[in-house]
Structure 1
Amino acid sequence: LANKIKALTLFATHYFELTQLPEKMEGVANVHLDALEHGDTIAFMHSVQDGAASKSYGLAVAALAGVPKEVIKRARQKLRELESISPNAAATQVDGTQMSLL
């Protein structure tokens, strides 16, 4: 998108592979929205910060969206399993149903 149509913005929430693009392409940068965590909840500050997000807030956002607590609990367990395999596994592992972007 950056090379072919000169897209100015690509917004993604779950494709952590995209954070590698600035290393591979000129003129590409990562930014993220600042967020404050309060226990299991989160407040987005609507302030754009340089760099990739340091972590995923998917479970906190799912809770805000009303996803049932049992689903969140199971997802949290799965996240711990992935992180126990490798500290970066949850952010970098691409499963068989997701096509690699890079």
Structure 2
Amino acid sequence: MASWSPSSVRCSPLPPKRLRHPVASVMECKIREKLGADNVVVKDAYGDGEYLSISVVASVFQGKSKIDRQKMVYKAVWDEVKYQEHVIEQIRMETPEEASGLEQTHL
């Protein structure tokens, strides 16, 4: 995976398809670029831009613990949460196999 820094990501708010806080679009873009995510959704939980929930489906999560996955997501959006009033209320992090229910369980 290539080296990443906040200045190497060129995300800006996307034109809104639905009413939402602009930081959600920026965070989606950064997570998609940093993690090579297949699917990213950042929702403004209460419509105030303060409490956010994040759902990420990415192959890069394969073999990673929940803590390591969470660290990866936070690193991708750290600029948006470190000095601002954005609280990540929930993060759902899955591989494509987990998201599609195809993950095999070992007995």
Report the TM-score when normalising by structure 1. Answer: 0.23
Greater RCO, 1 or 2 (C-alpha within 8 Å, sep 6+)? 2
Report the TM-score when normalising by structure 2. Answer: 0.22
Q: Considering only CA atoms, is the larger Rg found in Structure 1 or Structure 2?
A: 1
